[in-house]
Amino acid sequence: MDPPNVTCSNVTTRFFLPNSFLGLTFGSEYTYVDDNVDPSGISYNVTKGQDGDLFPPGHTPVTLFAEDTCQNVATCLFYVENTLTELPVNCPDLNRNVSTDVDKATYTFNPDFGADDVTKSASGYRYHGGGVSVNLTLGGSPFGSSVSIGTHDVVALIYDDVLNKTCTGIYIITGNLCDTISITFL
């Protein structure tokens, strides 16, 4: 008995699951011709689905296995393309007007934005490495730094183990005005 005859086409990950592979569609993305077809005999060398293997940007080789009812096996190689070039997250509003610290001529940079505040622009994206991180700087100074009065660029580098996105904003730091009140006793 002859083994199955299979052909495969390269595919691109879907926009709603941009780093997951859902499997090939019969008839359009792969063909399977055999006298002893087993519809459940299709498998891959990767785990498919939204909880399956993560696919990094670029082309990943995948093998389709077709086993018929007589245990004859045929394979075909194809590539899964992940077209992402940056982390699919939304940039937060980083613009702030802040005052210097009380009794100081500087502002201590303690931003109100962190990894827990990151929102995805593609909800089905799964972070490589399990999570997302944020690195914030104000005028080139890291979190916790004292920054002088003036207008400064704030930069948020949001990243996982594979992709990143840079978001920017402006901090305007002004002096902390404390009114002095005089009381005269008569």
pLDDT by position in tens, the chain (length 186): 788 999 999 999 999 999 999 999 999 999 999 999 998 999 999 999 988 999 999 999 999 999 999 999 999 999 999 999 999 999 999 999 999 988 899 999 998 899 999 999 999 999 999 899 999 999 999 999 999 999 999 999 999 999 999 999 999 999 876 544 445 565
Domain 5-82 part of CATH 1.10.3210: no
**CB-based contact 79:10 (threshold 8 Å):** yes
- How far is residue 47's CA from residue 148's CA, in Å, rounded to a whole number? 52
Q: What are 54-78's pLDDT values in tens digits?
A: 999 999 999 999 999 999 999 999 9
- How far is residue 59's CA from residue 179's CA, in Å, rounded to a whole number? 63
Closest CA to 64 of 130, 136, 7, 139: 7
- What 3-state class would DSSP assign to 176? coil
List the domain boundaries for the chain.
5-82, 96-174
- What 3-state class would DSSP assign to 75? strand
Q: How much is the pTM?
A: 0.84
Say which amino acid occupies 15. Answer: F
Identical fold, 5-82 and 96-174: yes
- How far is residue 176's CA from residue 169's CA, in Å, rounded to a whole number? 22
Domain 96-174 sits in CATH at 2.60.40
- How far is residue 14's CA from residue 19's CA, in Å, rounded to a whole number? 8
